Amino acid sequence: MKTETLTATPQGLARAAAILRAQGLVAFPTETVYGLGGDARSDLAVARIFDAKGRPRFNPLIVHVPDLAAAKTYAHFDARAEAIAAAFWPGPLTLVLPLRADAGLSPLVTAELDTVAIRIPAHPVAQALLRAFGGPLAAPSANPSGRVSPTRAAHVIDGLSGRIDAVLDGGACAVGVESTILGLAGTPALLRPGGIATEALEATLGPLATGGNAQKPSAPGQLASHYAPGAAVRLNADADLPGEVRLGFGPGLSDLNLSPTADLVEAAANLFHMLREADVLAGQGGQIAIAPIPEHGLGRAINDRLRRAAAPRG
């Protein structure tokens, strides 16, 4: 694909919003760094984000919304969260809060956790894009996995040209470092230092725990938050055994198919809900046989998730 460069004019914003509505990807400026935006409600759009960045695993993404009213449709706010939101939003602060049951976000955005990371960016172009689009945007930094975060449209083009639909040019980012991530789903915890000073948060919340590690939300302690099928899971199953439910990939007979055309992005978009459906079909004591998934591109993230599903549980 050819990556369009758009400007923050009414026409440019309308074009960006149209791409996002079609489940495409648009990089956009925020006050921290450029984000790679996709509709946070769309499995396909979010799968495309992981694919474009070449991320080797499905870690949770930050959901960007224009205002507090929108944020409250996705997360539960207690008195602490209300106070912090009133003091620091819009701005370079992300809050990890309990996910609402009726949030309607793609499970790929939250990595199936029961919490969600939300931010209201202050940048006028980010605000204009969120309003033109009219929905929540999942947006990790707009760089290939493992590379430095982009603070100019040209950096985005350097890293992702040909892999995303468009970049909305809003000049250089003022803050230049990622947002601070504050966990407020339980004991307040600093999950990542960033654009808002820890001291400023501690003035409201008192001393913050720093034990949490937002970079590794799938560390053993959080594995239980991932959906673990009740059925046994057998990986790299070329053929299924009698009684197994077959979760296929590519052409051929199967009970459910992640992607009949062997498209890894489509398979990633289908993965989480099809694992649940296969589990229901297999029933208590049943077994799910999963076709081999190639270990390249999004296949690496899919296989990472599948290995967790197949791991013995205590």
Footprint on this chain of ligand AMP (rule: CB under 6 A) = 59-62, 96, 110, 113, 115-117, 140-141, 178, 181, 191-192, 214-215, 217
By beta-carbon proximity to ligand AMP, the closer residue of 129 and 278 is 129
List 30, 106, 141, 179, residue binding Mg ion (CB under 5 A)? 141
Stretch that binds Mg ion, among 80-88, 115-123, 136-144, 269-277 (CB under 5 A): 136-144
Of the candidates 184, 168, 180, the one whose C-alpha atom is nearest the C-alpha of residue 7 is: 168
- 117-143 in b/e form (b: 16+ CB < 10 A) is bbbbbbbebbbbbbebbebbbbbbbbb
Q: Which one of ligand AMP, Mg ion, none interacts with residue 215, CB within 5 to 8 A by kind? A: ligand AMP
Between CA 89 and CA 98, with CA 95 as vertex, the angle to 5 degrees is: 130
User: What is the 3-state composition of the chain as percent helix, strand, coil, each rounded to the nearest 5?
Assistant: 35, 20, 50
By beta-carbon proximity to ligand AMP, the closer residue of 193 and 297 is 193
CA distances from 304 to 41, 77, 111, 189, 307 (A): 23, 32, 12, 27, 5
Which single residue brings its beta carbon nearest to Mg ion?
Answer: 141
Q: How far is the CB of 127 from ligand AMP (least distance, A)?
A: 18
Q: What amino acid is encoded at 255 in this protein?
A: D
By beta-carbon proximity to Mg ion, the closer residue of 148 and 209 is 148
By beta-carbon proximity to Mg ion, the closer residue of 49 and 122 is 49
Q: Which one of ligand AMP, Mg ion, none interacts with residue 181, CB within 5 to 8 A by kind? A: ligand AMP
Q: Which one of Mg ion, ligand AMP, none interacts with residue 191, CB within 5 to 8 A by kind? A: ligand AMP
Q: Which one of ligand AMP, Mg ion, none interacts with residue 42, CB within 5 to 8 A by kind? A: none
User: Do 125 and 170 contact (CB within 8 A), yes or no?
Assistant: yes
Cβ within 8 Å of residue 142, ≥6 positions away: 27, 33, 34, 35, 36, 149, 150, 156, 159, 160, 164, 167
Cβ within 8 Å of residue 146, ≥6 positions away: none
- Residue 32 sits in the site that holds Mg ion (CB under 5 A): no
Q: How many residues does the chain have?
A: 314
Q: Which one of Mg ion, ligand AMP, none interacts with residue 62, CB within 5 to 8 A by kind? A: ligand AMP
Site string for Mg ion, 165-194 (x = CB under 5 A): ------------------------------
Contacting positions for Mg ion (CB under 5 A): 141
